[in-house]
Amino acid sequence: MKYLELISRNPEQTQKLGIRIGELAIAGDTILLVGNLGTGKTCLTQGITWGLGIKDYALSPSFILVRELYGRLPLYHIDLYRLDHLEEITDLGLDDYLYGDGICVIEWAEKGLNLLPIENLLIHINYLSDTERSFQFQPHGKRYTEITAQLKDLSLNS
């Protein structure tokens, strides 16, 4: 499946979507999140941590670029919001995370697109209303086409 759009009607539905992604994740997965301030990138990531069995996730604003969390698999939560220069990605050794043993979830991925793995699950999040968001899944590569197909039947409002 090459494209999928799901509508979330509240934060809990976004978390539920994240939980499913966390359950489906395997080592090496790269998930790129693109969406304006406050659309729900971190909310989705919180769900992903739960889906991986990570208990201690706090939704606090982060000033660090990478957070390492350990569940069924390591989760590297990367936030490129404060990235000023593309070279910082190389300087900070992000490749160790990107090509490591865990899964990477990257907020503000558009800031680093040229240096991120070409095979990835790209998720565009759009603001529809105070409580509604659209999640558009664009898989790049076979592995991500499979995950997208598995998300198709997810019912967010039950």
Ligand X SMILES: Nc1ncnc2c1ncn2[C@@H]1O[C@H](COP(=O)(O)OP(=O)(O)OP(=O)(O)O)[C@@H](O)[C@H]1O
List contacts with Mg ion (CB under 5 A).
41-42, 107
The encoded tokens of residue 82 equal 């404060």
In the complex, the smallest distance separating the C-beta of residue 101 from ligand X, rounded to whole angstroms, is 25
Q: How far apart are CA 149 and CA 85, in angstroms?
A: 35
Q: In a 3-state reduction of DSSP, which class is residue 91?
A: helix
Q: In a 3-state reduction of DSSP, which class is residue 76?
A: strand
The partner in contact with residue 37, picked from ligand X, Mg ion, none with C-beta cut-offs of 5 to 8 angstroms by kind, is ligand X
Q: Beta 132-140 vs 66-70: how paired, if at all? A: unpaired
Q: Looking at this protein, which amino acid is placed at residue 113?
A: L
Q: Looking at this protein, which amino acid is placed at residue 61?
A: P
Q: Is 112 in the site for ligand X (CB under 6 A)?
A: no
Stretch that binds ligand X, among 85-93, 97-105, 129-137, 144-152 (CB under 6 A): 129-137
Stretch that binds ligand X, among 23-31, 39-47, 49-57, 149-157 (CB under 6 A): 39-47
Q: Which positions touch ligand X (CB under 6 A)?
A: 8, 10-11, 13-14, 35, 37-43, 107, 131-133
